Amino acid sequence: TATLRYASFRSRCCALHCSAQYSTVSNPNEKTFDKILIANRGEIACRVMKTCHKMGIRTVAVHSDVDASAVHVKMADEAVCVGPAPTSKSYLNMDAIMDAVRATGAQAVHPGYGFLSENKEFAKRLAAQGVEFIGPDTHAIQAMGDKIESKLIAKAAKVNTIPGYDGVVKTVEEAVKISQDIGYPVMIKASAGGGGKGMRIAWNDEETREGFRFSSQEAASSFGDDRLLIEKFIDNPRHIEIQVLADKHGNALWLNERECSIQRRNQKVVEEAPSTFLDPATRRAMGEQAVQLAKAVQYSSAGTVEFLVDSKKNFYFLEMNTRLQVEHPITECITGLDLVEQMIRVAKGYQLQYKQKDIPINGWAIESRVYAEDPYKSFGLPSIGRLSQYQEPLNLSNVRVDSGIQEGSDISIYYDPMISKLVTYGATRAEALARMEDALDNYVIRGVTHNIPLLREIITHPRFISGDISTNFLPEVYPEGFKGHRLEADQRRELLATAAALYITAQLRSHRLMGDLRVSSSPMDCNHWELCVELEEGRHNVEVTKSGNVYTVEVDGGRVEVNGQWNLASPLLPLSINGTPRMLQCLSRDASGKIVLQFLGTSFKVRVLSKLAAQLNSFMPEKVPEDTSSLLRSPMPGSVVAVSVKPGDTVAEGQEICVIEAMKMQNSLTAARPAKVKSVHCKPGETVGEGDLLVELE
C-alpha cells in the first residue's frame, strides 16, 4: 500500500488545483463514506480523489504494474496492484478489483469514466458485497448502455429520436439492406459502444460492408460485445449534450448543456458551456426531455443525455452516458457544483440540495482535450514517450487543469493518450477564449508529440469564434488535413526577427565566461549583425541591432522590435514584439544555428546563419530524400491486427494492406498506388513503433 510516503505530494497536488472553479467546501456534518476505491486511472482518478479529500474520505487507488508510480497512485491513501499493463488484465479485471475492495474495506467504488463505469455486472457484484456503486443502479446502466433498448425507452418517454432500425443487425448483407431502406448516409455503431469506438459512417453499400466489419471488430475489442445497430446519419449536425443529476427519491435536474461539436473520429476535442446556438426555449425543451428520460429509467447519480441538433434547432436523442462525463468540468465552472460530490451524496442516499430554479449559467467555460497525439496525421494519431519536461499553465487566473501525469510520466500504448483537460473560464465567451489562447501558449510539454497546435488553431479560427460549427468542422476547415498555422507576412517577419534575436542572444552568452568577456575578442562584441534566416523553403537576409534587451531587426522590407528578458534556461520565452505581448517556446537549438520555435501554437524549424556561413552553405551537397512510395510504414505505435497481403500479391490503389490498432482504435492502411508486394515485415499480434516498415512494394 501507499499511505504516508505520498502525503506531501497529495497536499501539493491539491494546492495546485485550488482554482478548480467549483465548490471547494463541503458540509462536515453530512456523513457519507469513510473509504472509497476509485476503479480507474489517470486524470479522472485524480479528479475523484480531490473531492474525496475535500470531504474527508480516504481513497484507494488500483493500478496496473506499469502504473505503479503514476500520479493517481501517489495521491491515494492506499494503492493496490490489480494486474499487468493490458486493460483486460488490470483495469477491466473485475475479480482483481473486487479482491482490492475486500482487502481495503472500501465502502463504495467510484468507476470514473470508461473501463467498468457502465458495466452492469460490476455494479451487481458490488451490490452483492454490500458495497455502494457510485453511479446509477444496474437497471439504468443496462437500459441506457444498450443503444437499441435506450432508443425504444426514449421513444416511449416522448424523447425525440433519430429514424433508424430498432434491432440488432446480424450480417453484412442485412446491414446493406437496412441501410438502403433507411437511405444513405447511415451511421453504423456498436450497441454497447461509446467514445467514438465501433462507429462508422457509410455513404454507399461498399462502405456499409467495410464499416460493418470494422465496427464489429472494434466493438468486440473495446466492449466485449459486437452487436451493431444502424440509423440515419444527420449530415452537418451539432453535438450538444445535457448534464442531468438525479437522486434515489425521484428528484431530477438538468444542469444546462455542453457544446461538443468539435470532434475527430467521433471523439470530442474542444467543448464549451453554454452553447452559442441554443436559445432559452430550446435549452429548456432539451433539458426537460433529458429529465423525462432519466425518470423513465429511475436514474440516480450524474448522467449525460447526448443529442444531435440540426441547423433548424430540431434535436434528436443520441445516447445516454450513465457515468461522469470526460467534459464535466465546464458544467462545474458555470454552475459552481462539484459533480463528484453530488454523485457521492446521491450514492449515500441523500436528496438533491437544489431545485431547477437554483441552477445558474454563470459565465462561460471552454475545455481543450490535450492529447499525446500527432495532429498532422488524421487530426491526431497517438504518440508515445516520456514527458521530459512538463509545466501546466496554472500561473494564469481562471485556468483549471485536470491531469494525471507529471514530469517524467510515460505515455504508453496501453492507455488513452490524454495528457490533460485544459479548462478556462470567463465572464464572457470572448474572455474564456482569450484565456484559453494564453493557457495553450504557456503550456510546456516536451518528450511527446501533442495536439496543442491544432487546439490553438481551432479556438482562434473565425468560424469557431463566430459559433459557426458542426461535427464536420475539422474536415471542412482543413479538407487537406491539418497543416499547422499558416503565417501571414507580418507574422513571418515576427518569427524571423525572434529567431535572429535568439541566435544573437545565445552567441553573446557563449562569448562570456563567469560574467567576464573571454580574452579573445570576436565580431560578436558589437551591436550590429548581418544574418541569413532559413524558414521552410525561403532564405531571408536580416540586419540586427541591439540596445539593452531590445533587438531591432530589418527583415523582408519591414522593421521588427523584439524586447524580452531572454532567459535561455526557461522553457517559456515571454516577449514583446512590436509592442504586442507574445509567449513563445524555444523547443530546441543547436550549434549549427538550427532553432525550433513554438510560435502561435505551431512549431517552426528555422536556421540562422552568419552572412559568410550562408554563402559557404550554398556549396554543401543536398541530401536526397528517400523514395517512400514503395514503403508502407506504421503511422503510429500500436499492434498489428491483420495483414491482408503476402509477397507476390498484386494490390490496387486504395486496397487494404494491413490493420493497426492503437488505443483501441483500428486503422486500415492502404496502398498508395497499384503495385506488387515485394516483402511483408509484420504479422498479426506484433507490436510496432511509429515509422516501422510494415510492407515493401515493388
Check if the beta carbon of residue 112 is closer than 8 Å to that of residue 40.
yes
Instruction: Give residue 369's pLDDT.
Output: 98
Residue 256 CA, distance from chain mean position: 23
Specify the length of the chain in residues: 698
**Residue 505 confidence (pLDDT) above 60:** yes
Describe the chain by its helix, strand, coil percentages, rounded to 5: 30, 35, 40
> How high is the pLDDT of residue 60?
98
Q: Which residues of 377-404 are buried (b: 16+ CB within 10 A; e: fewer)?
A: bbbbbbbbbebeebebbbebebbbbbbb
User: Using 50, 70 and 90 to split pLDDT, how confident is the model at 2?
Assistant: very low
Q: Of 40-49, 619-628, 663-672, where does the model show the most confidence?
A: 40-49
Residues linked to residue 124 through DSSP beta bridges, in sequence order: none
| pLDDT number for residue 658 | 93
Residue 382 pLDDT grade (very low, low, confident, very high; cuts 50, 70, 90): confident
Residue 9 has pLDDT above 60, yes or no: no
Q: With contact defined as beta carbons under 8 Å apart, do 642 and 670 qualify?
A: no
- Alpha-carbon distance of 356 to 333, in angstroms, equals 17
Of 12-16, 245-249, 465-469, 575-579, the poorest mean pLDDT is in 12-16
Q: What percent of the chain has pLDDT over 90?
A: 72
DSSP, residue by residue, 552-585: EEEETTEEEEEEE---TTSSEEEEEETTEEEEEE
Question: Maximum Cα–Cα distance for the chain, whole Å?
Answer: 88
> Confidence band (pLDDT; 50, 70, 90) for 177?
very high
| Helical ranges in 39-183 per DSSP H | 42-54, 71-75, 94-104, 120-128, 138-145, 147-156, 172-182
What is the arithmetic mean of pLDDT over 325-336? 97
pLDDT above 60 (res 509): yes
Distances (CA, A) of 124 to 127, 130, 141, 162, 301: 5, 10, 11, 31, 16
Q: What confidence tier does 17 reach under pLDDT thresholds 50, 70, 90?
A: very low
Q: Are 416 and 392 in contact (CB under 8 A)?
A: no
How far apart, in whole angstroms, are the C-alpha atoms of residue 609 and residue 94?
A: 61
pLDDT for the residue numbered 526? 75
Q: Which strands make up the sheet holding 638-643, listed edge to edge?
A: 665-670, 656-662, 638-643, 687-688
Q: Kindly report the three-state secondary structure assignment for every residue of 251-271.
A: CEEEEEEEEEEEEECCEEEEE
Lowest-pLDDT choice from 292-306, 361-375, 410-424, 519-533: 519-533
Numbers of helices and strands, H then E, in the chain: 18, 40
DSSP one-letter string for 165-211: --S-B-SHHHHHHHHHHH-SSEEEEEEEEETTEEEEEESSHHHHHHH
Can you tell me the mean pLDDT for 659-671?
Answer: 83
Residue 417: DSSP 8-state: -
Residue 8 has pLDDT above 60, yes or no: no
Q: Residue 333 above 50 pLDDT?
A: yes
Selection from 134, 8, 11, 2 nearest residue 59 by Cα: 2
State the DSSP code for 87. G
Report the Cα 93 to chain-centroid distance in Å: 25
Q: Please count the other Cβ atoms lying within 10 Å of the Cβ belonging to residue 536.
A: 9
- With H, G, I as helix, E, B as strand and everything else as coil, classify residue 509: helix
Tell me the pairing of strands 580-589 and 572-577.
antiparallel
The gap from C-alpha 351 to its chain's centroid, in whole angstroms, comes to 34
Least reliable range by pLDDT among 124-138, 178-192, 342-356, 571-585: 178-192
pLDDT confidence band for 435 (50 / 70 / 90): very high
pLDDT in tens, 452-461: 999 999 999 9
Task: Using the predicted structure, report yes or no on whether residue 630 has a pLDDT greater than 90.
Answer: no
User: How does pLDDT run across 558-617, given as a tens digit for each residue?
Assistant: 999 999 989 999 999 999 999 999 999 999 999 889 999 999 999 999 999 998 988 888
Report the C-alpha gap between 205 and 230 in whole angstroms: 13
* Least reliable range by pLDDT among 373-387, 418-432, 514-528: 514-528
**Reported confidence tier of residue 141, pLDDT bands at 50, 70, 90:** very high
DSSP 274: S
| pLDDT digit string, tens, across residues 182-217 | 889 898 988 776 656 678 899 999 999 999 988 888
Q: Could you give the angle at the alpha carbon of 422 between the alpha carbons of 421 and 424, nearest 5°?
A: 135
Give the bridge partners for 687, in sequence order.
Answer: 639
pLDDT at 373 over 60: yes
Parallel, antiparallel or unpaired: strands 252-264 and 512-513 = unpaired
> What is the C-alpha radius of gyration for the chain, rounded to an integer number of angstroms?
27
532, 542 Cβ separation under 8 angstroms: yes
Q: Is the dihedral of CA 241, 242, 248, 249 positive or negative?
A: negative
Q: Are 326 and 256 in contact (CB under 8 A)?
A: no
DSSP 8-state code for residue 660: E
- Give SS3 for 112: coil
What integer pLDDT is reported at residue 522 of this predicted model?
Answer: 47
SS3 431: helix
pLDDT value at 26 more than 80: no
Q: What pLDDT does 11 receive?
A: 32
Residue 591, C-beta contacts closer than 8 angstroms, at least 6 positions apart: none
Q: Give yes or no for residue 442 having a pLDDT over 90.
A: yes
Read off the C-alpha cell for 44: 479522472
Q: Which three cell numbers stand for residue 273?
A: 458551456
Rounded CA-CA distance 561/501 in Å is 10
DSSP E strand boundaries for 443-557: 444-446, 512-513, 516-517, 528-535, 538-547, 550-555
Distance CA 60, CA 97 (A): 11
Q: What is the mean pLDDT of residues 308-312?
A: 89
pLDDT exceeds cutoff 80 at 167 = no
pLDDT of res. 4:
31
Distance CA(234)–CA(586), nearest Å, equals: 44
* In contact, 216 and 279? CB cutoff 8 Å: no
The dihedral over CA atoms of 686, 691, 697, 698, expressed in degrees to the nearest 10, equals: -140
pLDDT mean across residues, the chain: 90
261: its cell numbers: 461539436
Q: What is the pLDDT of residue 198?
A: 72
Mean pLDDT confidence for 297-317 = 94
- Please tell me the distance from the alpha carbon of residue 529 to that of residue 527, in angstroms, as a whole number: 7
600-622 confidence digits (pLDDT tens) = 999 999 999 998 988 888 888 87
Residue type, 95: D
Predicted pLDDT at 688: 92
Q: Shortest CA distance to 57 belongs to which of 37, 40, 84?
A: 37
Which residue in 238, 283, 282 sits closest to 257, CA to CA?
283
The answer to whether residue 368 scores a pLDDT higher than 90 is yes
**CA 16/CA 497 separation, integer angstroms:** 36
d(CA 659, CA 670) in angstroms, rounded, equals 9
Show which residues are catalytic: 323
Pair 246, 253: CB distance under 8 Å: yes
The predicted model scores a pTM of: 0.84
**What integer pLDDT is reported at residue 516 of this predicted model?**
56
Q: Is the pLDDT of residue 19 over 50?
A: no
The helix/strand/coil state of 473 is: helix
Both ends of the chain: CA-CA distance in Å?
Answer: 57
